[in-house]
Amino acid sequence: MIDIITVVFQDELPILKVQAQSVEQYCADLGVQNIYVIVNDHDTVADCIDPAWWGARQNLVKIIPRSHYHGTWIQNGWVTQQILKLLAAATSSNRWSMVLDAKTVLIQPVQIQRLFNEQGQVAWGTLPIPSVFESARHIANHLFDIELQQMAGPGGVPFLFHNSTVRDLIAAVEQQTAQDFVDWFQEAGTITEFVLYSAYVQARDGNLTQAYTSKNTAYSVCNICHSEVAQFDQKFCQANQHNVLTVSIHRRAWSQLTPDQRTRYRDFLIAHGITQAEYLL
């Protein structure tokens, strides 16, 4: 039912090993057909990734260099990462894809009945579009002639893409813009994959409520970005809440943590069965 997509570049390979173990341990009941590991870097980085990192699920791993997808790629890794997530979802023949960043680590089992309600709506809910994504909202509004106020939850990873909807989205963008999707996305400005996807769903359905619950009844996530290092203790307490599905620390935040904070994070992951975290220090 749900494939896994993760996008990685060379500096993230150590944390990718940690994520791989968490996927092996906590994605047992999702009907995963493929684990797509998309390399947003030089093709040679793909040779450094070992499917054995995913343990018993290694036969599901497909390591795909960026050059596999046609297009002229610019050097902005943040932009190309977003495009690759959409292209990977469009590749999947499963019904859904769950998109992760390489630093995203699962800390409890993912349960289908928590991701979707009885009506088949995604249970992550919707949320207001953050002001930092106002430019993305403006671009999406103009593209689809809508007024987007909400985006699909959780607003970031882990994000669920309905794969056939992604394929339709790409086709709609190419028809509307008369451009190749990869070229358009790179030239469009500050668009983001999740705002664009949400906008297409609203344009298609008239709203987001047909596909998404109004409130999040699924899981919470705990992320520490590079501007939140001072909030580490508060965030670490949040990570211990029972409904948190994933945790992550941005690499630029990791470099600012104290040795004690890094040790606490490592021990937290090990306590959740992610023994590969031992090698983070």
CATH of the domain at 146: 3.90.550
Residue 224 included in any domain: no
Q: Using a pLDDT cut of 70, give the percent of the chain over it.
A: 100
Residue 253 included in any domain: no
Residue 269 included in any domain: no
Residue 243 included in any domain: no
Per residue in 198-209, pLDDT (tens digit) is: 999 999 999 999
Q: How many domains is the chain built from?
A: 1
Query: What separation in angstroms does the CA of 277 have from each of 14, 17, 115?
Result: 9, 8, 27
What mean pLDDT comes out for the span 111-132? 96
* Domain region containing 175: 2-219
Residue 183 included in any domain: yes
Q: Using a pLDDT cut of 90, give the percent of the chain over it.
A: 95
pLDDT of residue 72: 81
* Mean pLDDT, the chain, whole residue set: 96
Helix (H, G, I), strand (E, B) or coil at 203: helix
**CB-side neighbour CA atoms (13 Å) of 267:** 7
pTM of the model: 0.96
pLDDT of residue 189: 86
**pLDDT for 156 beyond 90:** yes
φ, ψ of residue 159 in degrees (nearest 5):
-115, 140
Q: Which of 220, 182, 222 is nearest to 81 (CA)?
A: 182
